[in-house]
Structure 1
Amino acid sequence: MLKNKVVLLAAILLIVVAAVIRFNQIQENHEANKVIAENCIDNEGTVIIQEGLFFTLTSVTCEEGL
């Protein structure tokens, strides 16, 4: 019985740690994309947002004005 509780606690802890790590990745990606987009707009470019699949992060590129 104690072994099952330890395994369950370890699994829950692993899920929480993975979620926190992923949340931090998303937050850092968002901040980086925001800087790229703001610089692009300041230089009169066109911001292009590329979304991936469910587990991938979005990316932002800048197409310079002609």
Structure 2
Amino acid sequence: MPTETSTLHARLVGQLKAQATDTGLAADPDSYDAWFRAKVQEAQTDLRPATPHSQVMQKARRLIDGKRQA
């Protein structure tokens, strides 16, 4: 059974691959690799404070509930 971390990782990789496809990077594995590594480096050096999981989930729940009511 996958862990939350592995599930989140799979989602993020899927999103990044979709972005890469949209920008044409998927056709060239070397370009995609460089792009992916740059995205990871960007995330690792981001100095913004972390957002608590509970806060993220509350915001997501409000967004979902708002879409359901629309």
Q: Considering the TM-score relative to the shorter chain, is it more than 0.5?
A: no
Q: Shorter-normalised TM-score: what interval?
A: 0.3 to 0.5
Larger RCO (CA within 8 A; separation ≥ 6)? 1
Task: Give the structure with higher Rg (CA).
Answer: 1
Higher helix share: 2
